[in-house]
Structure 1
Amino acid sequence: MRHSQRGGVRVQAPRWRTAALLLTLLPSLARPASYPADAPRVETGEDAEATEPRPRQLGWALLEVTAINATVWAFNMYVLKKDWSVVNLRTWRRNLATGFVWDRDDFSTNQFAHPYHGSAYFNAARDHGFGYWGATAFTLLGSLQWELFGEQKLPSINDLINTTMGGWAQGEAIYRLSSMLLDQRDTGTRRVAREVSAGLLNPIRGFNRVVRGDAWRSAPTPEDWQPPVFATLLRSGYLNIDAGEPLNQFFAELDLRYGDALRFPVKAPFDAFNMGVQFTTGEGRLISRAEVKGALAMLSLESSGNERILLGAFQHFDFNDNQAYELGGQSLGAGLVYRYVTQQGRELRLSLHLRGLVLAGISSEYAELIGRDYDYGPGLGFHIEASYGRWPWEYLKLHAGSTWIHTLNGADGNHLVHEGTLLLDVPLFANLGLGASFTFFERNSFFRDYDTVSRGIPQARVFLSLH
């Protein structure tokens, strides 16, 4: 199989097929559908409280997605003067004719930065009246634009997947959180603080609100901009990772719980989601963990008395880069979740999730042969969770799972990963808790041309928690 100048395996993509893919996107974007309830709204009639969703603006959404790419390209070309930003008709023709390859960028760029870039495309569509499903097509379109026309490098298949699917998860979470910060009836310094905070969290939406005048215009605030419940959890303390030699760090972890599928209906994707990020003092790695798990749809199987059982579809974004190992990717899956409420108001929750990994990156000792320290491939995984506490405070939690990843680019073979975490978080007083957790990570890598590699990496944490 022929290799490109970047060391990646070429994926056949004839010019006509790429062009056809771009053309087929447009009808799907314009297809009539109901407006999302949380879309930007405009006032109608004489009643100041009478509103309707702003009509979907296909042209403006396409223009803004393109403008995002043009702005990023111009900044790299004229400010940072990056060699790879020098593009012309010749490079465009070559990219269209050659097709997609696997790139060699570092793990954090591919698995974290590219999904965040994709969230900008997603929010350009969301803020122009499209719902979650409509915005997914714009994210794919923006990613295709960049890969084919935004840089001199050959288009990357892993960037296309990570930017698109990661952009869906990060983008919807960012849109929902920025909505929570806004109150269109507020005035004065509180209004300014809300608009600035939402704009910093969601720059595309913040820019559009200033351009349209929404940032200072008094208007009704859609009820859907606020979830039925929302909770934040902050943990901070000491972290020890045994990766052959001890890694001693301090960490701060922020988890957000938006909605609750076991208590309130999920009518639209991400009506309920969890989002978490962990910051550490490890060398060169400010963010060592990030994840988003959003409910796409839920079906009630049992709801009576103190018990409830749901079957759901979920989207997952995962990123782990903690100096000892790298693991992250984009996945879709199904889950069975259960809730039992005691007479004292405490809850037992159980869940089983099966996931199909569309693309995952995982540490590999032999991937350096193609210029990376991790392999790429699809896979399957499952994990179980059990927790006991008073929502959203989980006093005791157990998480365990296994993931299989087949290498498509890297050192040929398969990876089998086992993970388990036991967490205890005891209330001290008010919203303050004291806790500890133990995590064990095991990777067994079965390479076709090399010896099998098995690594076990334990982690221990001691922390204070604020709920």
Structure 2
Amino acid sequence: MRHSQWCGRRGPAARWRKVALLVSLLPSLAQAAEFPADAPRAEDEEAAAPPPRPRQFWWALGEVTAINLTVWGFNRYIMNKDFARVGLDAWRTNFEMGFVWDKDDFSTNQFAHPYHGSTYFNAARDHGFNYWGAMGFTLVGSLQWELFAENHLPSYNDLINTTMGGWAHGEVIYRLSSMLLDQRATGTRRVAREVSAGLLNPIRGFNRVVRGDAWRSAPTPKDWQPPVFAVLARTGYLNIDAGTTLNQFFAELDLRYGDAVRFPVDTPFDAFNMGVQFTTGENRLISRAEVKGALAMLPLENSGNERVLLGAFQHFDYNDTQAYELGGQSIGAGLVYRYLTQGGRELRLALHLRGVVLAGITSEYADKVGRDYDYGPGLGFHFEASYGRWPWEYLKLHAGSTWLHTLNGADGNHLVHEGTLLLDVPLFANLGLGASFTFFERNSFFRDFDTVSRGVPQARVFLSVH
């Protein structure tokens, strides 16, 4: 159902403020990838490393509940929203009628809800719970909202997207905010780091102020910094052939936190990739967002210049172009290969198999349930090949297929094929010039309607900064 005024569709000015905030934080993240000059040495850090924060179950549960009460109160008493007028009758109806599938727009369900789930997740993370422990609090927070904060019936898709999307968004936000913090810093530098981390992770920032951590001098935990970190940016021209030609400009950011091929993955998301693409398309500021986090990695072969690993991954995907919508939550396994040349360049190959827990996909006949997309689970695989010098991929190929079975919408099955070929050539220093071609094909086999096949090619030319 509709989550909140804070998490639904917002005006262009508000969306651009979010983009400006993200861009403003990038220099801090890049600087945080290296220890400051006055940081303690490794041996000092090891001797003085602070103990892990104790797990505080009731504080975590209380803060998850407080988040929901705050958002509900804002909608009820400030925004005067009808859906926030709840009481015993609404709660009784929610329990008696049970869960349904809602009709909210794609961006609200597939992007805003996962972000809201990240606040529950970070409430637990900041009270001493690890990734696995924070998962349960995210589910509890979502259930609280669905059952008690709205007079709309609780929603299956909201529960799944908020919970699973909250895991991925939450851990990424927690890791990036950790990078920004330096508990030995003082003065203006300390203030800048605390404010930046608080803007990125408001729940954690609030707690650090309340506890006094925001100004207290203490050792900075070693695991707050990844072994490697990189920011990649591309900007240029995008052409989409959706029956009519769509000409847009785009800006793309990719963050590489850690590297599962070169460094151990001891805890979930010790290595992850996050990408987001902003476009000038009509009513679609964010046209692509994705997270791929390594949950665990098992080395199979490590001889000379070759490495082979088997891994478990969590995936979050969001695509909302003017030509199609596709996004969902997945858990999968991947086989990864790396060959390192004597010149320091590398060839990487990967094959990923995914179990799609829930995905939304464009459908011509989903309007019978009040949306323009179907919902359902499925299976998928994709293949990746790249050549370059980490993190710069000079040449990259990505191709895959996904099968989705409709649970809500127009009965049937969707078979999606996707492929991207990218070339990014170094010009000088960290500047590159590149182009990419993407093809998206959807074949929808409906039970009560004719089969629909759609192909959408996309072409980009861009300047890149690495």
Q: What 5-or-longer segments of structure 2 have no aligned partner? A: 2-45
Query: What's the offset of the Cα at 1:50?
Result: 5.4
Query: What's the offset of the Cα at 1:51?
Result: 2.3
Inter-partner Cα distance in structure 1 for 2:212 and 2:463: 43
Change (3 A) 1:188 1:302: same
Query: What's the offset of the Cα at 1:48?
Result: 9.7
Query: What's the offset of the Cα at 1:96?
Result: 1.2
Inter-partner Cα distance in structure 2 for 1:360 and 1:68: 27
TM-superposition CA deviations, 1:151-183 (whole Å, max 9, x none):
110000000000000000000000000000000
Q: What is the letter of the counterpart of residue 382 of structure 2?
A: H
Q: What is the letter of the counterpart of residue 139 of structure 2?
A: L
Q: How does 1:231-242 map to 2 (within 5 A)?
A: 231-242=230-241
Q: What is the letter of the counterpart of residue 403 of structure 2?
A: W
Query: What's the offset of the Cα at 1:405?
Result: 0.3
- Paired position in structure 2 for 1:261: 260
Matched, 1:292 2:296: no
TM-superposition CA deviations, 1:218-276 (whole Å, max 9, x none):
11000000000000100000000000001100000000000001000000000000001
TM-superposition CA deviations, 1:116-148 (whole Å, max 9, x none):
000000000000000000000000000000000
Q: What is the letter of the counterpart of residue 462 of structure 2?
A: F
Q: How does 1:62-211 map to 2 (within 5 A)?
A: 62-211=61-210
Query: What's the offset of the Cα at 1:296?
Result: 0.3
TM-superposition CA deviations, 1:89-116 (whole Å, max 9, x none):
1111111121100000000000000000
Matched, 1:226 2:232: no
Inter-partner Cα distance in structure 2 for 1:186 and 1:401: 46
Matched, 1:270 2:269: yes
- Paired position in structure 1 for 2:27: none
TM-superposition CA deviations, 1:266-290 (whole Å, max 9, x none):
0000000000100000010110000
- Paired position in structure 2 for 1:27: none
- Paired position in structure 1 for 2:350: 351
- Paired position in structure 2 for 1:9: none
Give the SS at the match of 1:53: coil
Inter-partner Cα distance in structure 1 for 2:414 and 2:47: 59
Q: How does 1:308-319 map to 2 (within 5 A)?
A: 308-319=307-318
User: Over the residues paired in the alignment, what is the CA RMSD in angstroms?
Assistant: 1.1
Query: What's the offset of the Cα at 1:49?
Result: 2.9
User: Is the 8 Å Cα contact of residues 374 and 410 (structure 1) preserved in structure 2?
Assistant: yes
- Paired position in structure 2 for 1:391: 390
Matched, 1:380 2:379: yes
Percent of matched pairs sharing the same residue: 84
User: Is the 8 Å Cα contact of residues 232 and 255 (structure 2) preserved in structure 1?
Assistant: yes
Q: What is the letter of the counterpart of residue 372 of structure 1?
A: R
Give the SS at the match of 1:148: helix
Give the SS at the match of 1:462: strand
Give the SS at the match of 1:270: coil
Inter-partner Cα distance in structure 1 for 2:212 and 2:151: 38
TM-superposition CA deviations, 1:377-419 (whole Å, max 9, x none):
0000000000000000000000000000000000000000000
User: Is the 8 Å Cα contact of residues 48 and 219 (structure 1) preserved in structure 2?
Assistant: no
User: Is the 8 Å Cα contact of residues 233 and 465 (structure 2) preserved in structure 1?
Assistant: yes
Matched, 1:465 2:464: yes
User: Is the 8 Å Cα contact of residues 240 and 246 (structure 2) preserved in structure 1?
Assistant: yes
Query: What's the offset of the Cα at 1:456?
Result: 0.3
Query: What's the offset of the Cα at 1:55?
Result: 1.1
Inter-partner Cα distance in structure 2 for 1:454 and 1:105: 25
Give the SS at the match of 2:48: coil
TM-score under structure 2 length normalisation: 0.90
Inter-partner Cα distance in structure 1 for 2:399 and 2:174: 30
- Paired position in structure 1 for 2:22: none
- Paired position in structure 2 for 1:402: 401
Inter-partner Cα distance in structure 2 for 1:335 and 1:430: 33
Change (3 A) 1:395 1:151: same
Inter-partner Cα distance in structure 2 for 1:372 and 1:224: 44
Q: How does 1:319-330 map to 2 (within 5 A)?
A: 319-330=318-329
Q: What is the letter of the counterpart of residue 143 of structure 1?
A: S
Inter-partner Cα distance in structure 2 for 1:321 and 1:276: 14
Query: What's the offset of the Cα at 1:369?
Result: 1.1
Give the SS at the match of 1:332: strand
- Paired position in structure 2 for 1:334: 333
Q: What is the letter of the counterpart of residue 185 of structure 2?
A: D
Inter-partner Cα distance in structure 2 for 1:277 and 1:369: 32
Inter-partner Cα distance in structure 2 for 1:146 and 1:336: 38
User: Is the 8 Å Cα contact of residues 49 and 221 (structure 2) preserved in structure 1?
Assistant: no
- Paired position in structure 1 for 2:359: 360
Inter-partner Cα distance in structure 2 for 1:146 and 1:416: 34
Inter-partner Cα distance in structure 2 for 1:281 and 1:80: 29
Matched, 1:416 2:421: no
Q: What is the letter of the counterpart of residue 412 of structure 1?
A: D
Inter-partner Cα distance in structure 2 for 1:255 and 1:49: 34
User: Is the 8 Å Cα contact of residues 333 and 355 (structure 1) preserved in structure 2?
Assistant: yes
Matched, 1:437 2:436: yes
Inter-partner Cα distance in structure 2 for 1:72 and 1:233: 34
Give the SS at the match of 1:65: helix
Inter-partner Cα distance in structure 2 for 1:250 and 1:335: 33
Query: What's the offset of the Cα at 1:339?
Result: 0.2
